Amino acid sequence: MVMALDGVKVLDLSRLAPGPHCSMLLADFGADVLLVEAVPGSSEKLGGSRALSDNAQRAAAYNALGRGKRSMALNLKDEAARAIFYELVKSADVVIEGFRPGVVKRLGVDYDTLARINPRIVCCSVSGFGQTGPYSNLVGHDINYISVGGALGVTGRPGSAPAIPVNIIADFAGGGLTAAFAICVALLAREKTGRGQNVDVGMSDGVMSLMTMAFGMYFSTGVPVRPGDSMLNGAVPWYNTYQCSDGRWFSIGSIEPHFYEALMRVLGLDEYLGRQYESSAYPEMFAKYRAIFATRTADEWMELMSQYDICAAPVLEMENAVSNPHNLARQMVIEVDSPVGKVKQIGIAPKLSDTPGRVRATSPLIGQNTDEVLAGLGYDAARIADLRAKGVVG
């Protein structure tokens, strides 16, 4: 089966979630992704979280971020290891790294160095705040990047602390997804220019890009969005969540007038027809909505509302999301063969009609393919053994 990114060779130096998510997306569509990982024990800072353990096979099987990839271990602080990496770069298309600014320069694997070896190389750096600017050298995590990017400041309820989401906004959307998009754009550009380029993905930048519409409203009106004070973040009763009789939550999003009208009729609140934007009535509307939704379970509300033209859905907890008929029909929960048997993973989101993505293998163990890769470069068994003994490879 032809895959969209067949023939694209990726060297992935990244360790934490954004970079591996980026290369997972590329691997899902056929890219040959080689994880270039630190030799276990060679560097605490560069070693990342994929440490070897007695349960390594099981951990690898469930590590969807590593699926479809190969792994070799190189101690890039060693000149011999860098020479191996340079050989790999000669035939590669993409290098991904997620170190703090300046680290790849110190290791000798920065874009300028690699572009002299292969002018067609696309190098993508995924960092918290990007490679330039006053914050570029600051450490951080998702919570910090969504703070600087403006997303955390618009979440939650009035008068309450910001609601902290799981690390999906900066790490995965602003970081991994943005990086995968940028790499594909750079590869397309290379078809026109014949040259690779350096791609600088700052996760805080990615967060601000995700906030484009919200900031557009602010630029237009001069009124900043605050937690729970706009239509899309909790200020109105007809775009909100309500607790049901079973303790679960239900979401409604009846923005358009015809959706709002249908909601009022199903809830038996005809007295509010034509009063969608009457904000003075919102307190009593909120109270009535809460009382009504508390009379049925979340599933009962879904069964009722799905019969009408209403924007509504239960708030699915993780255990319910992975058993939801729609998510299953969309193949968003899949079973993958692994060395420890079949394991469940999240499926591939974009559905391409001609060159669909697929999961070709579960995550490798650290260094699982080192010998294979070195043999492909012409190293014989004795030389590989010598490099391993010296800690150059693992």
Q: Does 165 reside within a domain?
A: yes
Q: Does 383 reside within a domain?
A: yes
Rounded to whole angstroms, the Cα distance separating 193 from 148 reads 35
pLDDT of 113 above 90:
yes
Q: Does 218 reside within a domain?
A: no
Q: What is the CATH number of the domain that holds 290?
A: 3.30.1540.10
pLDDT of 219 above 70:
yes
Domain boundary among 298, 325, 352: 325
Among residues 228, 225, 224, the alpha carbon closest in space to that of 160 is found at 228
Residues 307 and 352 in one domain: no
Residues 6+ apart with CB under 8 A from 3: 29, 30, 355, 356, 357, 358
Mean pLDDT of 116-140: 98
Mean pLDDT of 117-143: 97
Q: Does 359 reside within a domain?
A: yes
258 is known as an active-site residue: no
Residues 145 and 288 in one domain: no
Q: What is the CATH number of the domain that holds 117?
A: 3.40.50.10540
Q: Does 219 reside within a domain?
A: no
Q: Which pLDDT does position 49 carry in this prediction?
A: 47
Neighbours of 209 (CB within 10 A): 13
Q: Which pLDDT does position 41 carry in this prediction?
A: 80
Kindly report, residue by residue over 35-77, the tens digit of the pLDDT: 999 998 876 555 444 555 558 999 999 999 999 999 999 999 9
Three state DSSP letters for the chain? CCCCCCCCEEEECCCCCHHHHHHHHHHHCCCEEEEEECCCCCCCCCCCCCCCCCCHHHHHHHCHHHCCEEEEEECCCCHHHHHHHHHHHHCCCEEEECCCCCHHHHHCCCHHHHHHHCCCCEEEEEECCCCCCCCCCCCCCHHHHHHHCCCHHHCCCCCCCCCCCCCHHHHHHHHHHHHHHHHHHHHHHHHHHCCCCEEEEEHHHHHHHHCHHHHHHHHHHCCCCCCCCCHHHCCCCCEEEEECCCCCEEEEECCCHHHHHHHHHHHCCHHHCCCCCCHHHHHHHHHHHHHHHCCCCHHHHHHHHCCCCCCEEECCCHHHHCCCHHHHHCCCEEEECCCCCCEEEECCCCCCCCCCCCCCCCCCCCCCCHHHHHHHCCCCHHHHHHHHHCCCEC
Which of 141, 229, 371, 386 is catalytic? The answer is 141
Specify the pTM: 0.95
Which of 93, 110, 142, 171 is catalytic? The answer is 171
Residues 58 and 139 in one domain: yes
Domain boundary among 283, 308, 325: 325
Residues 198 and 90 in one domain: yes
Kindly report, residue by residue over 309-359, the tens digit of the pLDDT: 999 999 999 999 999 999 999 999 999 999 999 999 999 999 999 999 999
Residues 182 and 295 in one domain: no
Q: Which pLDDT does position 48 carry in this prediction?
A: 47
Q: Which pLDDT does position 360 carry in this prediction?
A: 97
CA-CA distances (angstroms) from residue 324 to 21, 32, 302, 321, 351? 24, 32, 12, 5, 19
Mean pLDDT of 168-176: 98
Domain boundary among 296, 325, 354: 325
Q: Does 220 reside within a domain?
A: no
Q: Does 99 reside within a domain?
A: yes
Residues 20 and 106 in one domain: yes
Q: Which pLDDT does position 53 carry in this prediction?
A: 59
Mean pLDDT of 172-194: 98
Residues 164 and 235 in one domain: no
Domain total of the chain: 2
Residues 167 and 76 in one domain: yes
Mean pLDDT of 119-126: 98
Give percent of the chain with pLDDT exceeding 70.
97
Residues 74 and 164 in one domain: yes
Domain assignment of residue 316, given as a range: 231-325
pLDDT of 277 above 50:
yes
Residues 319 and 349 in one domain: no
Residues 25 and 156 in one domain: yes
Rounded to whole angstroms, the Cα distance separating 189 from 187 reads 5
Q: If pLDDT is split at 50, 70 and 90, which confidence band does 185 have?
A: very high
Rounded to whole angstroms, the Cα distance separating 167 from 148 reads 14
Biggest distance spanned by C-alpha atoms of the chain: 84
Residues 41 and 154 in one domain: yes
Q: Does 204 reside within a domain?
A: yes
With the CA atoms of 147, 65, 182 and 351 taken in that order, what torsion angle do they form, in degrees rounded to the nearest 10? -110
Kindly report, residue by residue over 91-109, the tens digit of the pLDDT: 999 999 999 999 999 999 9
141 is known as an active-site residue: yes
Give percent of the chain with pLDDT exceeding 90.
95
Q: Which pLDDT does position 43 carry in this prediction?
A: 63
